[in-house]
Structure 1
Amino acid sequence: MPPVSAAREILRRLHEVMASRSGAEAKLGRVVRIVAEALSSEVASIYLLREGKLELFATQGLAQEAVHVTRLAMGQGLVGVIAARREPLNLAEAQAHPDFAYRPETGEERFHSFAGVPIVRREAAIGVLAVQHAQPREYQEIEIEALQTVAMALSELIHGAGLVDDAEAAAARTASSAPARLAGLKLVDGLARGLAVFHQPRVVIEHTVADDPETERNRVRAGFGKLREAIDGMMGQAEFAGGGDHQDVLETYKMFAYDEGWLRRINEAIETGLTAEAAIDRVQAKTRARMRSIEDPYLRERLTDLDDLANRLLRIVAGQLGTAAQQGLQTEMILIARNLGPAELLEYDRRWLKGVVLEEGSLTSHVTIVARAMGVPMLGRVPELFAQVADGDELIVDAANGALLIRPQAAMIKSYTEMSAAKAKRAERYALLRDAPAVTRDGKRVQIMMNAGLADDAAALDATGADGIGLFRTEFQFLVSATLPRRERQQALYTAVLDAAGPRPVIFRTIDIGGDKTVPYLNGGEDDENPAMGWRALRLALGRSGLMKVQARALLQAAAGRTLNVMFPMVSEPWEFAEARALVEAQAELLGRAGHALPAQVRYGAMIEVPAIIETLDELLPMTDFVSVGTNDLTQFLFAADRANPRLADRYDWLSPAILRVLRRIIRAAAAAGKPATVCGEMGGRPLEALALLALGVEQLSITPAGVGPIKAMVRSIDLGAVSAAMHGWLDAPGTDIRAALGAMAAAQGAELS
């Protein structure tokens, strides 16, 4: 009988077996006879995973005395290798294979050829279906496919009969799977451990044998229609326009979605007797097998696209379109996704979300910016992610070293546990300092503020003991929105933040969109060859005055009766600040005339990030109430080093004389003008670098919430006067290695720099 007809005939007869009232063991006995007859095979056997071993459960052709007697461990013998690797074996001479394990009780010594496929459920092997012949021969590919089709149906029968426990199978898979390490790009620094959870959960196929092939074909056709409609819709959206990697991916998706060959192959699988879901999965499994044998990176990437699209089609047909976030999972998880949007990330409960790993992702993507604000370690550009990681695998994300550890060994887990314990002890020590003032040993009070950008961030004020919010990034609300946030939504957010802060100050930075933070509904800078220095921040806001007017009204009304601190980003020339301040004042006047309550006081600040503004501080400072130095952008502009480029990450030093002299100049100018100067940015969150800033005269830092405790501990452990005197001496005497000198002095004082 031809293999395609054999598969159809086997499934038809399996359907009858599954519907019969006989016991499970009798059913499997009938199955092996059906398989042997349909494939003209001398042997057909089923092994099931029971109590951690693969037990011969039914056979046609081997000695019946071996049933329930022959048992193999995962990875032992040909059957064990198939189960452990979850891949077929096709051998003309089985005994020549290095993993062949002879079991005399089976009487299999007279059989030469061997073919076997795993029986899989929930990505775990629960058994093996094997056939054997006395004559040496390799089985045809179509015969192997017929066995795989039968194995899918067997999975349903075995599960329904309760012959194998899903939890036991998953545990066996984890135990037998070797640890692996994948390299990726550090997007957000940190170390995390948890169980793999797929953002788009993989569909568990419960029914494999179809009653009516025409019904299944109609379901697939409808699924393709919805898939094509979704892709056409995405291609028409502004956020996917204008070229780039995402556009290339969508073009590939469209090509596959309209590929009649793919639809034909799925329908051919349905013709063998499979349901729509099982047919899609059967074709997808064949694609994955091809992926493993292809070396060309471009072709592998295209087949990966097809694999991802097949998952989407499977979810559509199965009606399982939700994400893992909607399942209310309460386990420490590492989220796995091809890519993510910032709003999707915010759907997850921060108590359980420990890390994120993306197959794509970039340093400048919106989701990276939000993850950094959330303090969630993130790794991106991880190839083979979906092929290597299974749902529920234990993972360690070591973002600092760009590594994902899959199913880590005991030594790795011990190392992680020790580091986590040390971190927890430090956190306990910092928690004891929450209500203590940040005062140096020689009596200098330092204001330690925190950066924020999300509504929930304000809760960290009480948890950390920060003196206020020194930088609230208002653009985050724009980044996570599909459309421009209306004034009412903006006002509600600002009101909630001010309410949570209470008497503590909040400094709102006006929208800093553009550069690495583009949004689909605000076009204008997407074609900049160097977006970091392009149409962004205050330039964009002044160019779109309507946008800034709406935000100004939202801020003014939210702060009614309170002090409003508003700060403008990336001021390049004094006239820009003057124009922005005049715009806010004009909105205040309009609101006042309309009878709206206004802030008791409005304080205006400028961010010092562009080197050009330093040359005109004498003009700028009299217009301001305060200034804040953004060390991230200022440093990249000073050194002409793109901070989003990992190859340049270590090419400049925050403790080099160049940056420290520029900072000293800004701080001295602000002090002479009687205007407070804050430093916000990563530099202020690193203890040794923060010590340098304090030595230059900085009295206020704004840093991530996680940095408040360590910086407060450092402040309370130093004699600032001595460090300040030394710092100015080093800057005035060229040739000093300031990092080494400052580190040595801090150590001599017993400063806490962990």
Structure 2
Amino acid sequence: MPVSATASAREILTNLHDVMASRSPAQAKLNSVVRIIAEALDSEVCSIYLLREGLLELFATVGLSQEAVHVTKLAPGEGLVGTIVANVETLNLAEAATHPDFAYRPETGEEIYHSFAGVPIIRRERAVGVLAVQHADPRRYADVEIEALQTVAMVLSELIANADLIDATGAPSTRPQATGAVRVPGFKLVEGMAAGVAVFHQPRIVIEHTVAEDVEAERHRVYAAFDKMRDQIERMSNQAEFGVGGEHDEVLATYKMFAYDEGWARRINEAIDSGLTAEAAIERVQQRTRMRMREIKDPLLADRMHDLEDLSNRLLRIVSGQLGTAAQMGLRQDTILIARNLGPAELLEYDRRRLKGVVLEEGSLTAHVVIVARAMGVPVLGRVRDIRRLIAEGDRLLLNSVEDLLVIRPTPAMEEAFEAKLALTQKRRAAFAAMKGEPPVTKDGHRVTMMVNAGLRDDVAALDLTGADGIGLFRTEFQFLVSATLPQRERQQRLYRDVLDVAGDRPVVFRTVDIGGDKALPYLDHAEGHDEENPAMGWRALRLALGREGLMKAQARALIEAASGRTLNVMFPMVSEPWEFDEARALFEAQREWLRGRGKPLPTDIRYGAMLEVPALADVLDFLWPSLDFLSIGTNDLTQFLFAADRADPRLALRYDWLSPAILRFLRRVTKAAQEAGKPVAVCGEMGGRPLEAMALIALGIDRLSITPAAVGPVKAMLRSLDRGAAMAEIDRLLATPARTLRPALEDWAKTNGVELS
């Protein structure tokens, strides 16, 4: 179509404005709408389906049989129209019948039409209908035509809602469906326990008018709103209460970059040019963002899109002048904040004295709000589905993200149990803190090296809090994940130097960047792995780094320069064969020589390690020992590879036990090989942070653990109550004639021998 999307949409909206302003019945208006759209897009068919009584009913059409109007009905998920509503997605097909969800309805007479394009009609974030066009010739509709349809669909949502043509749009009721106590599962994003009343973060802003009377006036309103929003973000960045120098600084810098993104502002302006009001234009672009988010499988890119959604909400509140968030109204008592998702700047607006916890319907470990919440010390529970159906404003909540649990409207007995658990947790924490100066030595005098895992600059403070021996795994990829662009070498170097400075004379093992798989970066063009069926075993970690030599060279140089005058411990992830390790080590050595040639200060020594996560490496370790300084076993990935079981699949999560004979025998074989070669071996992963599993590891001969800071106290208490020699004899006996799992037998043995596992 030789016109722009803006021109198409403006032409249609101009005609629609007259239709909507008329006194005609709603059905007559819809009949006019389909004719206007069909003529403007030169399309042989235009149809509107609306959601009524749970079914999508053909309400108006030009091109299809009029006898099908109010007769043809589809369930959400049924046919192309039902698929659009179920997935809140746009379809654009040259041959509609080839789509797997195509459903033929003979009463419509649509068999002569090949092409099909449909967009959802959205009301309050829910698809309530479909606007579709069809053509006899097989062709995909142009992007500008789809843009015009999406803009028109937004205006239609106002028309059909005002005419009461659709089902209730799912706006949150003031009271939840349940009124008694409810226990709801979630996913721990920031660990902690908190109690308070439920406060919803954001009232829904309802857009009253979508079609603009004066385009220039609407444009000036948006410009003014952008200026005010940017001022707010600048003030928040300068007033962040938890200080400077952490990853949250980088998060806010990335967030600020979105606020100044000219592409986002341009898209809103284009929507205004098409004839939308300022509010409708912002909402139009936001709808497009939401639909993209539903299509994005990459969690990191989805998190960045959430930042843009947060900014859109802020801009919409400013331009509409409607009531703001709960933060702007002020918190009056201890509060658990409820939100679908949050941006980092929105969290910073809340009074830290009153904000005790956050519950999100969505959320992920890499979301920007989680990084900021961790820095603020606010516990966060995520992935709590349909929370607005369960909670009413002001309900009493007990948040325990340690146990992935939210209790709504607790009974007095639940409150009492929670308070007892909180008191016990605080008591144990105090006991473990008092133990931080005690060495991790078994009852029979064997010293175990206890290290912590880290990924943020702020995590390094755990060394002093726990009394750990050092950092056994510093995940360098986190800096890459929170950045909107590839971190420059100087920025990487500054982070690594800061970590080494805080650690002092305690060792830090830097794992080179482990990205790819479920940690894809939106700013890297990694099309080779974009459609991987099993990303955990795909183009990731060392494989990706060696394939992108420039990325790894920059990181190598940053690490080497940051460690000048000190020992640099560097470890390569997911090594499958010795040549991969040798190639990575050679790259680092080449960078060391390059820096030496330019007179740069260098580390006193570089120690090279490998992570054993791929079982194949265990059978070729004899080739690796001559060039390897230390070995770390990554039990999380190792377990899923050894059992061919996706650790993220809930059906398999409990099926394969870390205390199964297969895992323990494998670990014993690797440990013996390392001891015979005179190489230190450590376990990095969740297995080492659980007292019973850690006891089994010590019994296998492993004497180096790198675990989460929270696990140091419990594992140290276990160690100091353990007779290592007796445990080694017991596990040898159990592995000689093993059961399906050694867990019950080891628990009984620990109890009998007074081993502290609580």
Q: TM-score normalized by structure 1?
A: 0.60
| Aligned amino acid, residue 629 of structure 1 | I
Cα deviation for residue 470 of structure 1 reads 0.6
Query: For residue 181 of structure 1, what is the aligned residue in structure 2?
Result: 182
Query: For residue 147 of structure 2, what is the aligned residue in structure 1?
Result: none
The 3 A distance-change label for structure 1 pair 473 and 196 is farther
Query: For residue 459 of structure 1, what is the aligned residue in structure 2?
Result: 461
The 3 A distance-change label for structure 1 pair 335 and 451 is farther
2:522 aligned with 1:520, yes or no? yes
Query: For residue 709 of structure 1, what is the aligned residue in structure 2?
Result: 713
SS at match of 2:651: helix
Q: Is the 8 A contact 2:218 2:277 kept in 1?
A: no
2:496 aligned with 1:490, yes or no? no
Query: For residue 432 of structure 2, what is the aligned residue in structure 1?
Result: 430
1:639 and 1:177 map into 2 onto residues whose CA distance is 41
The 3 A distance-change label for structure 1 pair 621 and 393 is farther
Match of 1:565 among 543, 562, 569: 569
Query: For residue 501 of structure 2, what is the aligned residue in structure 1?
Result: 499
Cα deviation for residue 194 of structure 1 reads 3.7
Q: 1:55-86: per-residue Cα shift (whole Å, max 9, x none)?
A: xxxxxxxxxxxxxxxxxxxxxxxxxxxxxxxx
Q: How high is the sequence identity, in percent, across the aligned residues? A: 60
Q: Is the 8 A contact 1:514 1:540 kept in 2?
A: yes
Cα deviation for residue 745 of structure 1 reads 1.4
Q: Which moved more, 1:697-706 or 1:732-741?
A: 732-741
2:541 aligned with 1:537, yes or no? yes
1:506 and 1:216 map into 2 onto residues whose CA distance is 59
Query: For residue 193 of structure 2, what is the aligned residue in structure 1?
Result: 192
SS at match of 2:596: helix
Cα deviation for residue 581 of structure 1 reads 0.5
Q: Is the 8 A contact 1:446 1:699 kept in 2?
A: yes
Cα deviation for residue 566 of structure 1 reads 0.5
2:416 aligned with 1:414, yes or no? yes
Q: Is the 8 A contact 1:370 1:476 kept in 2?
A: no
Query: For residue 447 of structure 2, what is the aligned residue in structure 1?
Result: 445
Match of 2:684 among 680, 688, 703: 680
1:372 and 1:651 map into 2 onto residues whose CA distance is 32
| Aligned amino acid, residue 745 of structure 1 | W
The 3 A distance-change label for structure 1 pair 333 and 685 is farther
Q: Is the 8 A contact 1:191 1:377 kept in 2?
A: yes
Query: For residue 640 of structure 1, what is the aligned residue in structure 2?
Result: 644
2:693 aligned with 1:689, yes or no? yes
Superposition pairs of residues 108-187 of structure 1, within 5 angstroms: 178=179, 181=182, 183-187=184-188
| Aligned amino acid, residue 493 of structure 1 | L
1:651 and 1:176 map into 2 onto residues whose CA distance is 35
Q: Which has the larger radius of gyration?
A: 1
Q: Is the 8 A contact 1:440 1:720 kept in 2?
A: yes
1:596 and 1:199 map into 2 onto residues whose CA distance is 54
1:718 and 1:548 map into 2 onto residues whose CA distance is 43
2:624 aligned with 1:624, yes or no? no
2:547 and 2:423 map into 1 onto residues whose CA distance is 51
The 3 A distance-change label for structure 1 pair 644 and 376 is farther
Query: For residue 655 of structure 1, what is the aligned residue in structure 2?
Result: 659
The 3 A distance-change label for structure 1 pair 456 and 351 is farther
Q: Is the 8 A contact 1:556 1:564 kept in 2?
A: yes
The 3 A distance-change label for structure 1 pair 547 and 311 is closer
Q: Is the 8 A contact 1:190 1:377 kept in 2?
A: yes
Query: For residue 240 of structure 1, what is the aligned residue in structure 2?
Result: none
Cα deviation for residue 437 of structure 1 reads 0.4
Cα deviation for residue 719 of structure 1 reads 0.7
2:549 and 2:591 map into 1 onto residues whose CA distance is 11
The 3 A distance-change label for structure 1 pair 457 and 413 is same
Match of 1:579 among 578, 583, 591: 583
1:347 and 1:494 map into 2 onto residues whose CA distance is 30
2:360 aligned with 1:358, yes or no? yes
Q: Is the 8 A contact 2:613 2:633 kept in 1?
A: yes
The 3 A distance-change label for structure 1 pair 634 and 198 is farther
Q: Is the 8 A contact 1:479 1:519 kept in 2?
A: yes
Q: Is the 8 A contact 1:196 1:392 kept in 2?
A: yes
Query: For residue 729 of structure 1, what is the aligned residue in structure 2?
Result: 733
2:384 aligned with 1:382, yes or no? yes
Q: Is the 8 A contact 2:189 2:382 kept in 1?
A: no
| Aligned amino acid, residue 512 of structure 2 | T
1:321 and 1:482 map into 2 onto residues whose CA distance is 31
The 3 A distance-change label for structure 1 pair 556 and 427 is same
Cα deviation for residue 438 of structure 1 reads 0.6
1:198 and 1:595 map into 2 onto residues whose CA distance is 59
The 3 A distance-change label for structure 1 pair 606 and 143 is closer
1:656 and 1:561 map into 2 onto residues whose CA distance is 44
Cα deviation for residue 710 of structure 1 reads 0.6
Cα deviation for residue 705 of structure 1 reads 0.5
Q: 1:437-496: per-residue Cα shift (whole Å, max 9, x none)?
A: 011110000111101111111111111111111111111111111111111111111111
Match of 2:556 among 536, 552, 557: 552
| Aligned amino acid, residue 549 of structure 2 | S
SS at match of 1:547: helix
Cα deviation for residue 392 of structure 1 reads 6.2
1:549 and 1:733 map into 2 onto residues whose CA distance is 49
2:493 aligned with 1:477, yes or no? no
Q: Is the 8 A contact 1:181 1:403 kept in 2?
A: no
Superposition pairs of residues 304-323 of structure 1, within 5 angstroms: 314-318=316-320
1:700 and 1:308 map into 2 onto residues whose CA distance is 43
Cα deviation for residue 329 of structure 1 reads 8.5
Q: Is the 8 A contact 2:661 2:739 kept in 1?
A: no
Q: Where do 5+ consecutive residues of structure 1 fail to align?
A: 1-140, 145-172, 231-249, 268-275, 281-306
Query: For residue 603 of structure 2, what is the aligned residue in structure 1?
Result: 599
Q: 1:408-453: per-residue Cα shift (whole Å, max 9, x none)?
A: 3433222211111111111111111110101111000011110111
| Aligned amino acid, residue 181 of structure 1 | V
Cα deviation for residue 727 of structure 1 reads 0.6
Q: Is the 8 A contact 2:452 2:709 kept in 1?
A: yes
Cα deviation for residue 693 of structure 1 reads 0.3
1:664 and 1:717 map into 2 onto residues whose CA distance is 22
2:486 and 2:200 map into 1 onto residues whose CA distance is 26
The 3 A distance-change label for structure 1 pair 505 and 717 is same
SS at match of 1:647: coil
Cα deviation for residue 349 of structure 1 reads 10
Q: 1:27-70: per-residue Cα shift (whole Å, max 9, x none)?
A: xxxxxxxxxxxxxxxxxxxxxxxxxxxxxxxxxxxxxxxxxxxx
The 3 A distance-change label for structure 1 pair 388 and 223 is farther
Q: Is the 8 A contact 1:684 1:693 kept in 2?
A: yes
| Cα RMSD, aligned residues only | 4.8
SS at match of 1:603: strand
Cα deviation for residue 518 of structure 1 reads 1.2
The 3 A distance-change label for structure 1 pair 676 and 441 is same
2:369 and 2:179 map into 1 onto residues whose CA distance is 31
The 3 A distance-change label for structure 1 pair 310 and 572 is closer
Q: Is the 8 A contact 1:515 1:531 kept in 2?
A: yes
| Aligned amino acid, residue 596 of structure 2 | G
1:481 and 1:571 map into 2 onto residues whose CA distance is 26
1:332 and 1:419 map into 2 onto residues whose CA distance is 19
Q: Is the 8 A contact 1:461 1:501 kept in 2?
A: yes
2:675 and 2:663 map into 1 onto residues whose CA distance is 18
Query: For residue 341 of structure 2, what is the aligned residue in structure 1?
Result: 339
SS at match of 1:504: coil
